Structure 1
Amino acid sequence: MKRQFNRSIQYLKGVGPAKASNLAKLGILTINDLLEHYPKRYEDRSLYKKIAELVDGSIETLSGSVTCIQDTKPRRGLTITKVTINDETGIANLVWFNQPFVKKKLAVGLKLIVSGKIKRQFNKIEISNPEFEILENNDDFINTGRIVPIYPSNESISQNLLKGLIRQVLSEEELWRGETLPPEFIGEFGLVSRELAIPNIHFPDCYPALIDARRRLVFEELFIIQCGLAFLKAKNKKTGGSIKHSADGFLLKKMKNILPFKLTEDQINAWQEIRADMEDLTSMQRLLQGDVGSGKTIIAVLALLKTVENGYQGAMMAPTEILAEQHYDTLKQLLSPLELKIGILNGSMNRSAKEKVLSEIRDGVIDITIGTHAIIQDSVVFKNLGIVITDEQHRFGVKQRAKLLEKGKSPDVLVMTATPIPRTMALTVYGDLDVSIIRQMPPGRKPIRTFLRTNDSRQKVYEFLIKEVEKGRQAYIVCPLIDESEKINSQSAVELFELLTSTVFKNIRCGLVHGKIKVQDKDEIMSSFYSGDIKILIATTVIEVGVNVPNATVMVVEGADRFGLAQLHQLRGRIGRGEHQSYCILLTENKSNETKQRLELMETTTDGFALAEEDLKLRGPGQLFGNRQHGLPDLKIADIVNDIDILLLAKKAAQKTVNNSIYNSYVEQLINTHFPAEFTEILRN
């Protein structure tokens, strides 16, 4: 890999500070950024049509000779340039608005290749603001007579500027030539060379060349990510210094005897995989996926008990104080017969209580610590940490997870999530982890009945909700916004709370929570809802990860079309946790068939993984891959929904590369060149 790639974009002719600043807004800072600013689509302008064959409303390419050029100024501030061209079948008028420089480029008699949108009216043909090339001056076209790239751009950076800069780079071979993949992979995986791929992704000679170029560059992008993940996995699982737990002992046997229920087959399989990891000399790095209510917590408890009976401490980190307190209450109740010392650590504890817990953790008095991100503060020192469990992994960044690992000597790591992650996402975002999945729900749970309704049914929905409250139940109403917005026609939490508490729910105690209220106030409201004092909780998606309230039986989602299916499923998982029948009601004003069909899936499907897969197809990776918390490079060309076959090949190639010591420096260079700083920082530590 040539270091030329990292040269500033200002190295290029025609790029001064102002243009560089505008290019930076598109994420283009270096030569490599420019080369990897791939087209978002292509237009085939390689097939010419005769003027008589042009179709109204379509984008066409034609060839003709200039017969007339004229400027008119119908009013102040408006100049219209009109150029007439003809061929043997007819004439066409080319029109530009306030672009007088066009006239200077053209002369009567020149032959042009023209591409643009056809407007045919009263047997006359007009093309506004077309792209054109002068046939006599150039046989290497950019905008016409070929497959033309269309790039992501902004108001300050034109398509022509991008094309021109990329052409400039491609003409200076020392800036980009050179293979980035191990040579044997080119043949083994049927790839074209980078020297063919880069020119043909930008200016393809034909569609087969474009397809081959894209396949090669998708493979390269996914290969680099998989190398980083495989390298991290190998680093975390390095032999020596890790904890090797013994076979199940007295605490686990006692726990299994007092469990008030039988584990499902999926829970048993997940536990067997986790137990095998913990009994191995290499450090466990495992992701446990399971729908809301599938029974992940009991698996976490078994893992914590295994480490405690081996003489170690366990730690479990949750994203919110209230969720940490819920885990603490659950574990205290469940483990009370085992006489273990369980501690909780969060940011709102007073100083003396916190100091006492810190001292007991340091001295090894506390066997299991539950907490928020307060656990990763420097003041927290474990005597002998054996396992780290993080709940709702996607809420934590890679730096936070790494900092928790530093609290022990290669402790086992179990990360849990109730967000169903499609296979492609798991392979990409969590490729450094082994994966266990709990799909089965414990027997006896009543399926949540889900209904899609329009705003016409709102009054009936509220009446139904009141009846449920009168039966002693509780309910959630979720809004997509905090405050009223003129731009988005959706109910806001604040506006709806004020409206409902002064009208239909004026005799019912309601609460309001959203991301802008203070953490302490939010926790107080959530605690009041948990205890049953608050009957209806009006909220934003802050309750997506929240307390377990078995008495809550109704979930009303306002503006349901504003949410993804996976997020709706997460919200729905807040109910259906008790013995009573639960109901999820999705309200929407959007009447499009596409929206209706998407939301109707919620009525018929309770499988979170199936919904997540469908969501990925419909909406793309979105937030799951869009935020930087995963610490991975952003995808620039790969589509993890449709490129799964290439992803699997890239994963196989990356594993071979990382396993072969001769590639150590190559993999490190890949990571240093392509990965964000937070990822490389973890590898260095």
Structure 2
Amino acid sequence: MYYDLRLVTAIKGIGRVKAAQMNRLGIKTVQDLLEHYPMRYEDRGAITPIRALNNNEFGTIQASVVQVTERKPRGSLVITTAAVHDNTGSAVLVWFNQPHIKQILHPNMSIVASGLVEKRYGKTQLSKVEWEEAGNASTVGGIIPIYNSTEKLHQNALRLAIEIALTTINLEETLPHEIMKLYSLLPRNKCLVSIHCPSNKQELEEARRRLVFEELYYMQCALLYNKRQQQYSLSGIKHATNGSLFQKTLDTLPFQLTSDQKLSLHEITRDMEETLPMRRLLQGDVGSGKTVLAVLALIKTVENGFQGAMMAPTEILAEQHYRTLQELLDPLEVRSALLTGSISAKVRAETLFNLRTGQIDIIIGTHALIQKDVIFANLGLVVTDEQHRFGVEQRAQFEAKGRTPDVLVMTATPIPRTMALTVYGDLDVSTIKQLPPGRKSIKTYHVSSELRSRVYSNLVVKQIELGRQVYVVCPLIDESEDSDMQSAVALYDELKTKYMHNISCALFHGRLSHAERELIMKDFCEGKIQLLVATTVIEVGVNVPNATVMIIENAHRFGLAQLHQLRGRIGRGQEQSFCVLISDSQSDESLFRLRSMTETQDGFVLAERDLLLRGPGQFFGLKQHGIPELKLADVIRDLPILLQARQAAQTTVSTPTLMETIRPALDYYFTTWMTGVQG
């Protein structure tokens, strides 16, 4: 047995009640328990005098309890504090919603306590406290694991359950001997013991390296195997080389492709001319020109006798693509259509009929494209834009509209190399880093709310007087009693009254009807509206070259990727553009995000910084892709191991004997984690 899938109740001492408590942590099987790795460790062999504790670090003290108090400042919040001292000074230990502490601790008790040290106004406080009575063998000496737990499932109960599992379960090896030898990896059973009960830091690091390698190795094996199965088990469409219609479309473009665009286009067309189905990711920064490559790929499939489809996450973006398509293709008599949830029943019925009977060559739409009644006559290529906004099942349903269509997915959120290997290991990747020639760098500033008046009365008004247009983005539509954030409705009223006399303004948000949104965007694109107050609904899909100013209110409320996407709405013309981030937040994370925006426009640099802030689990929502959030590995810290694991996986997937060796473990990976990717 490679993985122990018995319920945790198979472990001595774990009954139904404790098993239910563990289930809340995602621990259902013995394997889950063994892989419930410590979130951190405390070296309780290093007792530190209270006076010598370092601020903002975890420290361990041995002290005597002076007094235990409890207070309830509001609602159900209970704060328990214990004043303690040793021969160098005093400190306060703090627990939240753990009222039982007051019943256990008592004056003059000698305890060993570990926690996060905070020094303020000459006083020392420890929070996130773990403690035991001095003299207990587990507290004195050694590196103690600290687990993610719940109020009812204490650390000692988890440690004991894991210790019993480690000593009573036969832990078999999961990696091929050849791979272990090649990468100098320790046995799995030894590493599981060391990760939960380390004797020293060197042993802990060696154990962690092996277990991180295993986690990333099987992820990469699954991704590569999945890609190979999809490609080699299916016979795709072999498109002919580029023909006259493709060339005519290319010749009608009002600009020359950049070298990055040319290379990406070559990679796409080369894939389409192979028998194996294309599975390619096209990533490029905001405004880098991905859409035109998608159009050319769609034209290629049309001139080969097939239909093409592009799915976008919002109606606004779908409509934008459709307009771009019409401008290029109507003169070439290529038949196109738009399908969204807002079109009338009559138009929808007519569109579905024409699609089914082959009278539509290319269709652009939203989620409406994956409805059951949408049937293609002969689908050759599916394109998904802003693909990380769609779930695995939605993308699979889209691809299933054809027999084995070529697949192109696009994203304007630049993906760090680490995430490309992790999330998109089953796709070939094309990257556009160059922006079209003539684009000027967007001047970006971070200002406090004290300068708001100057921003609107000077920068905004003057740009409008020069004939330019302006976006103003707010985090909320309406004011809220629970928030002091700027709302779009309130700001719109303020700007109209205070600054924008005789200036055409409009309010744009998600609660407007489709017809209202379409009319406003049409008027803004045509220059009839000079200032647009909006929510993040304009984050993607709006292309107005005459817009040169982006004001973002309460900018700290937006993520780094979102700020970059919003800024990408401007800077699309030849004139100098300006982005102003208004925020009073002083938090380190907010200041880091805002400073990053003022320092660079490189979406790939910002993506790396965003990954640092948010961590790999949240960067794209790995579960959205059918890939698990990593239990131990960190793709930033562990990039060298990831690259080794990728190399080992490539060797394994291409070697039948190695594949046979890992088959049970790979089956476990697919059945428990990769069901989403398999569709």
> TM-score, normalized by length of structure 1?
0.86
C-alpha change, 1:61 and 1:544, in structure 2 (3 Å) is closer
C-alpha change, 1:230 and 1:489, in structure 2 (3 Å) is farther
For 2:217, the equivalent position in structure 1 comes to 223
Shift of 1:291: 1.1
C-alpha change, 1:203 and 1:357, in structure 2 (3 Å) is same
Deviations 1:319-365 (A, max 9, x none): 11221121111111112332211122222222222222222222222
Amino acid at match of 1:152: N
**Contact 2:356/2:377 (<8 A) preserved:** yes
Identity over the aligned pairs, expressed in percent?
A: 49
For 1:152, the equivalent position in structure 2 comes to 148
For 1:37, the equivalent position in structure 2 comes to 36
Shift of 1:629: 1.5
For 1:251, the equivalent position in structure 2 comes to 245
For 1:447, the equivalent position in structure 2 comes to 441
C-alpha change, 1:662 and 1:357, in structure 2 (3 Å) is farther
The alignment status of 1:311 with 2:305, answered yes or no, reads yes
The alignment status of 1:242 with 2:245, answered yes or no, reads no
587-596 vs 291-300, greater mean Cα deviation:
587-596
SS in 1 for 2:358: coil
C-alpha change, 1:413 and 1:386, in structure 2 (3 Å) is same
Distance (Å, rounded) in 2 between the aligned partners of 1:457 and 1:676: 56
For 2:8, the equivalent position in structure 1 comes to 9
Aligned with residue 322 of structure 2, among 317, 328, 331: 328
Shift of 1:113: 8.4
C-alpha change, 1:665 and 1:371, in structure 2 (3 Å) is farther
The alignment status of 1:131 with 2:127, answered yes or no, reads no
SS in 2 for 1:237: helix
Q: Which runs of 5+ in 1 are unaligned?
A: 107-111
For 2:45, the equivalent position in structure 1 comes to 46
For 1:182, the equivalent position in structure 2 comes to 176
The alignment status of 1:339 with 2:333, answered yes or no, reads yes
Deviations 1:103-137 (A, max 9, x none): 8999xxxxx983447999xxxx99998734675x8
The alignment status of 1:460 with 2:454, answered yes or no, reads yes
Distance (Å, rounded) in 2 between the aligned partners of 1:445 and 1:673: 50
SS in 1 for 2:620: helix
**Contact 1:501/1:510 (<8 A) preserved:** yes
C-alpha change, 1:93 and 1:521, in structure 2 (3 Å) is closer
Shift of 1:538: 2.4
Shift of 1:503: 3.8
For 1:26, the equivalent position in structure 2 comes to 25
Alignment of 1:499-648 (within 5 A): 499-505=494-500, 508-515=503-510, 522-591=517-586, 595-596=590-591, 598-621=593-616, 623-626=618-621, 628-648=623-643
Deviations 1:556-614 (A, max 9, x none): 11122233333211110011122332211111102457644542332231211112112
**Contact 2:44/2:140 (<8 A) preserved:** yes
C-alpha change, 1:473 and 1:103, in structure 2 (3 Å) is closer
Shift of 1:639: 1.0
For 2:465, the equivalent position in structure 1 comes to 470
SS in 1 for 2:38: coil
**Contact 2:471/2:551 (<8 A) preserved:** yes
513-522 vs 410-419, greater mean Cα deviation:
513-522
Whose radius of gyration is greater, 1 or 2? 1
Shift of 1:273: 1.0
Aligned with residue 673 of structure 1, among 652, 668, 675: 668
SS in 1 for 2:144: strand
The alignment status of 1:300 with 2:299, answered yes or no, reads no
C-alpha change, 1:579 and 1:619, in structure 2 (3 Å) is same
| Residues paired across the two proteins, number | 658
C-alpha change, 1:553 and 1:246, in structure 2 (3 Å) is same
Amino acid at match of 1:617: L
**Contact 2:282/2:290 (<8 A) preserved:** yes
Shift of 1:537: 2.5
413-422 vs 359-368, greater mean Cα deviation:
359-368
For 1:162, the equivalent position in structure 2 comes to 158
CA-atom RMSD in angstroms: 3.8
Shift of 1:444: 1.4
Amino acid at match of 1:311: G
C-alpha change, 1:192 and 1:474, in structure 2 (3 Å) is same
Shift of 1:271: 1.0
Amino acid at match of 2:608: E
603-612 vs 567-576, greater mean Cα deviation:
603-612
Amino acid at match of 2:443: R
SS in 2 for 1:603: helix
The alignment status of 1:367 with 2:361, answered yes or no, reads yes
Deviations 1:225-267 (A, max 9, x none): 2122112211221265211111111112222333222111111
Shift of 1:44: 1.0
Distance (Å, rounded) in 2 between the aligned partners of 1:578 and 1:188: 54
Distance (Å, rounded) in 1 between the aligned partners of 2:68 and 2:446: 57
407-416 vs 236-245, greater mean Cα deviation:
236-245
For 2:347, the equivalent position in structure 1 comes to 353
**Contact 1:633/1:674 (<8 A) preserved:** no
> TM-score, normalized by length of structure 2?
0.86
For 1:114, the equivalent position in structure 2 comes to 112
Distance (Å, rounded) in 2 between the aligned partners of 1:456 and 1:70: 48
Amino acid at match of 1:114: V
For 1:199, the equivalent position in structure 2 comes to 193
For 2:75, the equivalent position in structure 1 comes to none
**Contact 2:81/2:93 (<8 A) preserved:** yes
Shift of 1:158: 2.4
**Contact 2:145/2:196 (<8 A) preserved:** yes
Deviations 1:77-108 (A, max 9, x none): 999999999xxx999999999555568999xx
